[in-house]
Structure 1
């Protein structure tokens, strides 16, 4: 089999590794538009579920990834001026470039060819292959060439966010909220090496404009954010991969779904197929699980059309829950003013429960009371209803659902 993979991100590289392990005779070439060693972002986060998948599919790369990862312990949420609330938990961070370097070395050791600075933008540039894997991200050029079949739907999120780094090492996964005259602004931070952390800043568009971030040059924006988050940074600087004179690369998250995941011999992988809001920390896991499923399907199914159809069916079903939870999590942060004035334990409890379908429809303090009373049968019933959908709790008195 001859495979062309467009995009040398985690999904494309890991898929190529797994295909070579399953079928060493497979000819695989990866085409990447960026130069070698150039990537966007800082550190990525993952959890024990991905560790188990990596070990089951390729212990060699799994061990190398874990050896290069930073293990953070505990989760912390803190509103400026209040006491931090802690809730346990562990996870891993790894520099995105470090992860790519590990996967690239493993792929090339297995015989995968990688061509950098090779962008695919038109039909004539699509390589001749039995299978063409579109692993070129949420803005996939290859997906656009078959848009009528894939039928992508992109829904932009409301909040603005920017992906930064800092030399302050957060040894716990930390959420910090700061009130300003223009509204709330907050960060999600976690260590990914002994010397660096990812620091994602998020706020509403009104706060973003009210604080002037829509018109500040990059260096001025970084200094303003350092001032806002000074209590959390402890004198450390914030870093951006953009130039100091141009504005920071603030974005609106793009929620992407596709009706179909394959068109002829072209198949979508990772962010080209789907996205899930960064607040659930599952992007890397979901992309690499796509890679596992596609490699398995191509290996065990002799017919390529049947293999691509089976992969599509499996992964579309698998994505239903994480995408639903990601939308609920994003909506929680889009309405953070509703929760930010709670005390530490209450805020932390609702933060952890932000994927609940019930939480937007119940006043926050009442929800916290229900959260603490889960042992009561009626309350357990409410939570089961919430898992099925908010429409299932329509029998509750309207005064309880009104928020």
Structure 2
């Protein structure tokens, strides 16, 4: 089988790895327009279910990912200078470039052909391919060109957000809300790697314009943000990947949907097929899940690509539909955050609202657990129990 993957992100690379492990005779080529070692993005946040999926499909990759990951414990919600609200839980994270390095090395070890600095303008050059996988990201050119056939639609958000890093390790996932003369602005912070964290800035359009972010260049933008969040950064600098350009890459939340994830022998994968709001941290997790599902579908329908792609679509769509519904609820919740905080800026109450933002129903006892989590001794006990459960889970 001759397979071409366009895009050397986590989706395309892990699909290639999973497929090669299932069919060592498959000829697989991964094409990427950027040079090797160049990527845009910061941390990859995930949970134990991703490690479970990696170990089930390729223990070699899984072990390296686990060893390269850091663990953050608990969630802190800071509103102004008051005492924070706390939530339980934990998560894992690692740098996007480190993840890509692991996947690239594994793909090469398996004999997968990788071609960097290879832009693809037309699928016509792959006329001999049995399967073409478009894993070229949220702004996929192939999906855009075939939008009518894929049935593409987009849910847009109103808030502005900006991906940054910081030379500071946040040991817990931290939401930081600050009220400025122009309105509310906040950070989402979590561990990236030794000495650094991922920091996402978010604010409504009125705050963004009122603070002058529509006019400031990269250096001025970072200086303004460092001043607003000075007490949380402890003098650490913010890091931008766009300091050599004249504009700042502020984005709007965007969720891409497609009625079909395949057309002929072309399959959409990862963000090219569907995207979720960054606030639920599921982009890479879903991309890996897509990769496993597509590789399994191809292996279960040898020589029958149409049947394989139909199975892939049918298998993954219920999972994606549910996650996108949750992500949309999270995006809309954050758009309403300024109004909520103006009404009641209590961090404990707002932390609980954040924990319930995905729209799921909850039992009353969870609220009392939340109140107990605000007590230092009980919070410490809960963290120890969570750590023990994770240790037990990993050992099995």
Alignment of 1:106 with 2:106, yes or no, is yes
- Partners of 2:143 and 2:233 lie apart in 1 by 41
Residue aligning to 2:179: 179
Give, in whole Å, the separation in 2 of the partners of 1:65 and 1:357.
Answer: 31
Q: Which residue of 2 aligns with 1:315?
A: 316
Match of 2:166 in 1: 166
Residues 277-333 of structure 1 deviation map (CA, whole Å, 9 limit, x = unaligned)? 110111110010000000000001121100100101111111111000000000000
Runs of 4+, deviation exceeding 4 Å: 367-371
* Secondary structure of 2:252's aligned partner: coil
1:54 corresponds in structure 2 to 54
Distance 1:245 1:48, change over 3 A: same
**1:14 counterpart SS class:** helix
Q: How far apart are residue 127 of structure 1 and its match?
A: 5.6
1:8 CA displacement: 0.2
Report the counterpart of residue 358 of structure 2 in structure 1. 355
Q: Distance in 1 between matches of 2:6 and 2:70?
A: 29
State the shift of 1:202 in Å: 0.3
- Structure 1 counterpart of 2:216: 216
| SS of equivalent residue, structure 1 residue 286 | helix
Distance 1:165 1:64 in 2: 23
Measured in 1, the distance between the counterparts of 2:26 and 2:157 equals 40
Determine the C-alpha separation between the residues in 1 that align with 2:17 and 2:242.
32
Q: What is the alpha-carbon distance in structure 2 between the residues aligned to residue 312 and residue 260 of structure 1?
A: 7
Instruction: Please name the residue that 2:335 is paired with.
Output: 334
Q: What is the aligned partner in structure 1 of residue 376 from structure 2?
A: none
Trace 1:358-377 onto structure 2 (pairs within 5 A): 372=367
Structure 1 residues 244, 111: CA separation in 2 closer, same or farther (over 3 Å shift)? closer
Instruction: Tell me how far 1:123 sits from its aligned partner.
Output: 4.1
- 1:92·1:192 contact (CA, 8 Å) conserved in 2? no
Change (3 A) 1:19 1:369: closer
SS in 2 for 1:89: strand
Greater relative CO (CA pairs within 8 A, separation 6+): 2
The CA distance in 2 between the partners of 1:75 and 1:163, in whole Å, is 19
Partner of 1:251: 251
CA contact (8 A) 1:153 1:258 kept: yes
Question: Aligned residue for 1:379?
Answer: none
* Residue of structure 2 equivalent to 1:297: 297
| Separation in 1, partners of 2:117, 2:127 | 15
CA RMSD, aligned part only? 1.8
Q: CA deviation at 1:373?
A: 7.8
* TM-score, reference length from structure 2: 0.89
| Contact persistence 2:78–2:175 (CA under 8 A) | yes
* 2:55 match: secondary structure: helix
Name the CA distance, whole Å, in 1 between partners of 2:186 and 2:365.
Answer: 26
Over 3 Å counting, the alpha-carbon distance change for 1:23 and 1:369 in structure 2 is closer
C-alpha distance in 2 between matches for 1:346 and 1:90 = 20
Distance 1:371 1:48, change over 3 A: closer
Q: Which residue does the alignment assign to 2:154?
A: 154
User: Residue in 1 aligned with 2:271?
Assistant: 271
Distance 1:221 1:124, change over 3 A: same
CA contact (8 A) 1:217 1:244 kept: no
Once the two structures are TM-superposed, the CA of residue 148 in structure 1 deviates from its matched residue by 2.4
Q: 2:257 is paired with a residue of what secondary structure? A: strand
The 8 Å contact of residues 17 and 110 in structure 2, kept in 1 or not, is answered as yes
Indicate the SS of the match to 1:222: helix
- Residues 97-156 of structure 1, C-alpha deviation per residue, up to 9 Å, x if partnerless? 000000000011001011111111234344631000000001111223322210111222
For residues 75 and 355 of structure 1, the distance between their equivalents in structure 2, rounded to whole angstroms, comes to 16
Q: Count matched residues.
A: 366
Contact 1:4–1:127 (CA under 8 A) maintained in structure 2? no
SS state at 1:252 partner: strand
Gaps of 5+ in 1: 359-366, 375-403
Give the aligned partner of residue 388 of structure 2.
none
Distance in 1 separating the partners of 2:360 and 2:205? 24
Helix, strand or coil at the partner of 1:25: coil
Aligned to 1:377: none
Contact map agreement 1:138 1:271 (CA 8 A) in 2: yes
When structure 1 is superposed on structure 2, of 207-216 and 119-128 the one drifting more is 119-128
